[in-house]
Amino acid sequence: MEEKKVVIVGAGIMGASLAQVYAQGAWQTVLYNRSAEGLERARVTILRNQELLCTQGLLTREAAEQALLRITFTQDKACMADCVLMVEAIVEELEAKRRFWEETSRLVPTDALLATNTSGLPISEIAKAVYLPERFMGQHWLNPPHLMPLCEIIRGEQTAESCVNAMYELVKALGKEPVIVKKDIKGFLANRLQYAMLREALYLVETGAAELEDIDTVLKAGLGLRYAALGPFHVCDFGGLDTYCRVNEYLNETLCDRKEGDPMLAQLVAEGRCGVKSGAGFYDYGGDKAAQATRERDELYIALAKVLYYGKR
């Protein structure tokens, strides 16, 4: 078996970025996709990502070239026969993932680690289609993985602890910040926290408490900066648990506790306003605004990560 060979399945935004992450981590990386067009788009995406990292001083030209040489683009499932790790990043649909793993988990070596990149689908349900499910788990990366340090590693009901620990060390060696989610809960950690905040943010706009731009400012200029540096539990410790306890007693009853999906969000989607990819969402991204917004986002992520994470290496 070839040492440190990973197969990334799915050449979308996440798959392309993950291929870059593993290749820069010295893995022989195979990016598998059903269509040649998807693979070509992924190649262009990786080159664009590398260019930004180089211009920001996070990657040398030589390292970028070496990483690209480690990536093979293929439509042939034979690439799975000798990998030590396979990470699937296909469409976020339970049945599609089940069908994929039912076939391919028998094509890889029996000791290969297996992971699905999902934002919240139940790992244990996907694992029902996996051959030798004790080696199967979730890898939830935030978009875009080549910039975001976090990787959630989610244990399914049948996942062996030794496999979870091996995956943790593997991801850490990539220079990332892995966390282990001990229970296979919907949304894992990041999305449960994110959607709790989003529910309240939407509620505040819908009830006329603030404009959406003001909500964004509160997060960017206040809570986001605070939590990026400390996290919620450290923030409470510095503020005083007695204070937080008193506020908790009177504020919780006024918070939004809607159990169904938010109507404002549903209406925007019904109108085709799906965000940057469609040219409009909460904000307008018509013309060249989408590309500009993406560049500005990536540059901000890099600037923050240089301070908070990359400087630690």
Q: What is the pLDDT of residues 277-297, one digit of tens each?
A: 999 999 999 999 999 999 999
Q: How confident is the model at residue 208 (pLDDT cuts 50, 70, 90)?
A: very high
Statement: residue 135 has pLDDT above 50 = yes
Task: List, edge to edge, every strand of the sheet that includes 71-74.
Answer: 71-74, 28-32, 5-9, 85-88, 113-116, 136-141, 150-155, 177-181
Residue whose token pair is 């206040």: 222
Q: What is the pLDDT of residues 88-124, one digit of tens each?
A: 999 999 999 999 999 999 999 999 999 999 999 999 9
Q: How far apart are the first and last CA of the chain?
A: 31
Beta bridge partners of 86: 7, 114
Statement: residue 245 has pLDDT above 50 = yes
| Angstrom distance (rounded) from CA 243 to CA 246 | 5
Q: Are 89 and 18 in contact (CB under 8 A)?
A: yes
pLDDT of residue 308: 87
* Distance set, CA 69 to CA 200, 254, 281 (Å): 46, 55, 37
Statement: residue 17 has pLDDT above 90 = yes
Encode the chain in three state secondary structure: CCCCEEEEECCCHHHHHHHHHHHHCCCEEEEECCCHHHHHHHHHHHHHHHHHHHHCCCCCHHHHHHHHHCEEEECCHHHHHHCCEEEECCCCCHHHHHHHHHHHCCCCCCCCEEEECCCCCCHHHHHCCCCCHHHEEEEEECCCCCCCCEEEEEECCCCCHHHHHHHHHHHHHCCCEEEEECCCCCCCCHHHHHHHHHHHHHHHHHCCCCCHHHHHHHHHHHHHHHHHHCCHHHHHHHHCHHHHHHHHHHHHHHCCCCCCCCHHHHHHHHCCCCEHHHCECCCECCCCHHHHHHHHHHHHHHHHHHHHCHHHC
Q: Rounded mean pLDDT of 158-185?
A: 97
Average of per-residue pLDDT values in the chain? 95
| Angstrom distance (rounded) from CA 236 to CA 250 | 17
Statement: residue 313 has pLDDT above 70 = no
| Angstrom distance (rounded) from CA 57 to CA 51 | 10
Q: Are 238 and 230 in contact (CB under 8 A)?
A: yes
The candidate with the shortest Cα–Cα distance to 184, out of 132, 127, 141, 101, is: 127
| Angstrom distance (rounded) from CA 141 to CA 133 | 21
Domains of the chain: 5-181 (3.40.50.720), 190-312 (1.10.1040.10)
Statement: residue 1 has pLDDT above 60 = no
Q: What is the pTM assigned to this prediction?
A: 0.91
Q: How confident is the model at residue 310 (pLDDT cuts 50, 70, 90)?
A: confident
pLDDT of residue 69: 97
pLDDT of residue 312: 54
Q: How many CB atoms lie within 10 A of CB 301?
A: 16
pLDDT of residue 2: 44
pLDDT of residue 309: 85
Amino acid (one-letter) located at 100? F
Residue 263, preceding bond cis, omega within 30 degrees? no
In the chain, the percentage of residues whose pLDDT exceeds 90 is 95
pLDDT of residue 311: 62
Q: What is the CA radius of gyration of the chain?
A: 21
